[in-house]
Structure 1
Amino acid sequence: MLEQRIQQQFFESADLLYQVAESLSRPVADAAQLLVDGITAGNRVLCCGLGLSSLDARYMAALLSGHFEQDRPGLAALFLDGQLQMSAPADAGAALARQIQVLGHPGDLLLLFESQGAPRAQLAPLLEAAHAQDMTVIALSGSQDDEWRSALLDTDVQIRLPHSRPARVAEGQRLLAHCLCDAIDLQLLGSGE
């Protein structure tokens, strides 16, 4: 019984990735191009996420500023953790929005991870802060409802892994982070093979 349940976890994850591979290839390519264009123009990538998704944002910032599978100079990527001075609002979304206001510059990109189906009220301030700074948003989301989709601009890119289980979405987002890094490295360094 336990082994079957464990196998089901693998099958469910693989099934989701198989289902979205074709439909997500275009938005991932678009997002990778935005990142390359921004980085080569001297702009930065600000990575953030709410809740456990912040761990994926930290991981992505580390891959960009460090390296993925090939050695390369570090890319200008920052992880926003939402930690501010003691006088800052306790709400993580408001703290992240404040960091975007303080650190974001025109031409920078906001790479937002969201796997839990956060409501518009939590995500809209982040998107509004990025847009007020003239930043482009790349949103890796898992929401099935996408009630906050209307807060994205036509120039933004959403990469959506629709699934009811946040664990499946988080697994897919890790793969998306790797796909983005691979595409960036391919465009900046060429094939390492």
Structure 2
Amino acid sequence: MKNIKNYFELSSENINKLSNHEEEILKVCEAILECKKNKNKILVGGNGGSCSDAEHFVGELQCTYKAHNRAPISAISLASLPAAVTAWSNDFGFLTYFKRQVQAHGNKGDILFLISTGGGNEQNGASMSLVEAAREARKKDMKIISLIGKSGGILKDISDIVILVENNVTSFIQEAHISILHCICEVIDDQLLEK
């Protein structure tokens, strides 16, 4: 029982610190609303649990978060096509799969929104598929937003807007990420309903 109580206490402490990211969250919301206004789209990517968060976020943007009468926001999950993921990964390797999706779908003015607990590490190869996508997005003059954890990795230095959850426990970072994504949706829906 002690471990259960301790886990939730630590988890709550982590979540309670997220209001410190208000400025960055508002910048992300402004970027998404500007993207929608200009009829651009948002490409969202992540690996593992962060891939699930990316799919969840895209669903909220395309469909609705709480405002059932708001217009959809054009968003694509980069890992949502298993045939494409497996075809490219089988023939060329997974490292460049997200880059290929940016080549296929990304245009100037679009947003590449990346979710990663580590942010990319060249030494161990973790999340380098996201770094490759970001480098491709930079060539296309897309805005890069990264929701990351730990020390931020490579994405911290190559993104336009960064929300860094300073924690080294992957599960706590993931919990924080979904809370931040919901907060972004909350602000966006409120803004769109006011118009």
The answer, yes or no, to whether TM exceeds 0.5 is: yes
Distance in 1 between residues matched to 2:180 and 2:143, nearest whole Å: 18
Once the 2 structures are TM-superposed, how far is the Cα of residue 18 of structure 1 from its aligned partner? Answer: 1.8
Aligned twin of 1:111: 113
Distance 1:145 1:44, change over 3 A: closer
Q: How does 1:56-71 map to 2 (within 5 A)?
A: 56-71=53-68
Aligned twin of 1:160: 164
Partner SS state of residue 110, structure 1? strand
Aligned twin of 2:71: 73
Once the 2 structures are TM-superposed, how far is the Cα of residue 116 of structure 1 from its aligned partner? Answer: 4.1
Q: Structure 2 counterpart of 1:38, which letter?
A: C
Distance in 2 between residues matched to 1:134 and 1:117, nearest whole Å: 20
TM-score by length of 1: 0.88
Aligned twin of 1:90: 93
Contact 1:110 1:135 in 2 (8 A): yes
Distance in 1 between residues matched to 2:117 and 2:142, nearest whole Å: 22
Distance 1:166 1:173, change over 3 A: same
CA RMSD, 1 decimal? 1.9
Distance in 1 between residues matched to 2:134 and 2:112, nearest whole Å: 8
Distance in 2 between residues matched to 1:117 and 1:127, nearest whole Å: 11
Aligned twin of 2:144: 137
Higher fraction of helix: 2
Distance 1:116 1:64, change over 3 A: same
Aligned twin of 1:15: 13
Distance in 1 between residues matched to 2:30 and 2:178, nearest whole Å: 19
Distance 1:108 1:129, change over 3 A: same
Contact 1:118 1:143 in 2 (8 A): no
Partner SS state of residue 180, structure 1? helix
Contact 2:131 2:154 in 1 (8 A): no
Distance in 2 between residues matched to 1:58 and 1:99, nearest whole Å: 15
What count of residue pairs does the alignment treat as equivalent? 184
Distance in 2 between residues matched to 1:148 and 1:65, nearest whole Å: 25
Aligned twin of 1:25: 22
Which of residues 34, 38, 59 is equivalent to 2:35?
A: 38
Distance 1:143 1:126, change over 3 A: farther
TM-score by length of 2: 0.87
Partner SS state of residue 71, structure 2? coil
